[in-house]
Structure 1
Amino acid sequence: MKALTLRHPWGFAIGWAGKDIENRDWDDRVADLMGLPQIIGEPVAIHSGSCPKRGRNQGWREFIAGLKAMRANLGGELPGSAAQFLASRSPEGPFAPEAFLVSGIVAVAVISGTTRASRSSWAVPGQLHLMLSQVVALPEPVECRGAQGFWEVPEVVEREVRRQVEQVQVTRPPIAAERTGADWLGL
């Protein structure tokens, strides 16, 4: 399984806040060198990088800017699953910065295609948009080191990621607007 490392809070946004596009400033040649054409349609692990240190350093400033952009993109409201996740992590409120600092593999998504003209509110104009689908947020982050570009997940880590994905798919039925919980349970 390949993985893609993201800065905070974007891994969280993919797993829990409905971010359906990953923006990259790659040109087509770089995307080809990264192996992107070979992994379209394949599951990719979403890895949140190391935690920026609080303070005045560049990493923390970028993280806070990203958090503000995510909040603006969501209209200041977190989806229910994201709010519940953050409430379990932080007593300081759903937008407390430290609550978003989850390092390791946090989700798995399928890269369903690429475009430079996505209409998603998450898309940055002029960048390559990796279109994400079938996102599964992992119940527990799986610790491992990340890397730039697409990288190969170590076998032992991949086993744990796949175990959690299967667990989530068994315990959470797919959401369909026309079906109720009673329908899913066969009642």
Structure 2
Amino acid sequence: MRALTIRQPWAGAIVHQTKRVENRTWKLPAAHHGARVLIHAGAQLDKNAKIYGPDFGDYAAIVGVATITGYHWSDDGTCCEPWGFANAYHWTLADVTALPEPVSVKGALGFWTPSEDVVNAALRQDTAVAR
């Protein structure tokens, strides 16, 4: 299972609010279309983001699990308001689950492969939440 690092506050907005689109400058690789991925909160805050609402406070940790259902390009971002950016690929997310206890781990840019222990710790929580 792969993980995707997303800076805060965006990772928190995905797992705790209604953000169901991830803005990227690059196309979704075909291998990840329809894939279930771990959502990793990066170690740094996106300094360009305006935080509305709570500071999710989880950094350098797996905070949730989601399915990437597809992607599309947007010139103006209006298709995915209020979360979609202009001039970006919008990766669409579904079946999002927040982990009750974030799993601390150093991530990497883009997709990366966490250790088996990290994956198992996250999936145990994902399964427990789904019940």
- Specify if TM > 0.5: yes
Distance of 2:110 and 2:43 partners within structure 1 = 15
Distance of 1:67 and 1:18 partners within structure 2 = 16
**Aligned residue for 1:44?**
37
Distance of 2:101 and 2:18 partners within structure 1 = 18
Distance of 1:13 and 1:20 partners within structure 2 = 9
Alignment of 1:24-173 (within 5 A): 24-26=24-26, 28=27, 31=28, 36-52=29-45, 62=47, 65-68=48-51, 71=52, 95=54, 99-103=55-59, 104-117=61-74, 119-121=79-81, 122-170=83-131
The residue matched to 2:80 in structure 1 has which SS?
coil
Percent identical among aligned pairs is 37
Distance of 2:56 and 2:99 partners within structure 1 = 14
Distance 1:67 1:140, change over 3 A: farther
Deviation readout 1:65-121 (Å, 9 max, x if unpaired): 4243xx2xxxxxxxxxxxxxxxxxxxxxx53xxx32202000111000010136111
Unmatched runs of 5 consecutive residues or more in structure 1:
53-58, 72-93, 171-187
The Cα of 1:129 is off from its aligned counterpart by 0.7
Distance of 1:100 and 1:167 partners within structure 2 = 21
Larger Rg: 1
The residue matched to 1:14 in structure 2 has which SS?
helix
Distance of 2:105 and 2:58 partners within structure 1 = 12
Distance of 2:50 and 2:103 partners within structure 1 = 22
Distance of 1:24 and 1:152 partners within structure 2 = 19
The Cα of 1:43 is off from its aligned counterpart by 0.6
Distance 1:42 1:25, change over 3 A: same
Number of matched residues? 126
Matched, 1:17 2:17: yes
So what's the TM-score if we normalise by structure 2? 0.88
The Cα of 1:18 is off from its aligned counterpart by 1.1
So what's the TM-score if we normalise by structure 1? 0.63
The residue matched to 1:157 in structure 2 has which SS?
helix
Structure number with higher strand proportion:
2
* Counterpart residue identity of residue 72, structure 2: T
Deviating beyond 3 angstroms after TM superposition, the runs of 4 or more aligned structure 1 residues are: none
* RMSD of Structure 2 on Structure 1 (CA): 1.6
